[in-house]
């Protein structure tokens, strides 16, 4: 069961990584098409042409489809963005000490 979960999380992380690469690749083109679509000074047929080009880009090239996931467990929620690990993994690593500059507080 544990092995199956790790394979699923690995699969999700690979899918998310591919989405990040696609989003980075098409970022400039997507922003350009969006700017043309929103520009009221352009004629409507030109805006429609750029809207059509925007719709023909791959779906996964949108940054809205990128999900922050833990790189070790694949957990999608409560991910510490700077380290890209979930709060559960972060807490364990902070208490053991391998994270540079992070230590568990106690008072």
Contact 27, 60 (CB under 8 A): no
Four-CA torsion 53, 59, 61, 62, nearest 10 degrees: 90
Confirm whether pTM is higher than 0.75: no
Domains defined for the chain, CATH in brackets:
1-66 (no CATH), 68-101 (1.10.287.1480)
- Model pLDDT, residue 21: 92
> pLDDT for 24-53, tens place per residue?
999 999 999 989 888 888 888 889 899 999
C-alpha–C-alpha distance, residues 107 and 104, integer Å: 10
- Model pLDDT, residue 2: 53
Q: Which segments of 36-106 are extended strands (E)?
A: 79-80, 85-86
């Amino acid at each position: 069961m544990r092995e199956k979960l790790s394979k699923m999380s690995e699969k999700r992380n690979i899918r998310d990584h591919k989405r990040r690469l696609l989003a980075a690749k098409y970022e400039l083109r997507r922003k350009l098409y969006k700017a043309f679509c929103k520009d009221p000074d352009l004629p409507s047929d030109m805006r429609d042409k750029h809207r059509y080009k925007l719709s023909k880009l791959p779906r996964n090239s949108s940054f809205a489809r990128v999900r922050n996931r833990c790189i070790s467990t694949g957990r999608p929620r409560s991910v510490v963005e700077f380290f890209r690990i979930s709060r559960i993994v972060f807490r364990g690593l902070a208490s053991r000490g391998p994270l540079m500059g992070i230590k568990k507080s106690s008072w």
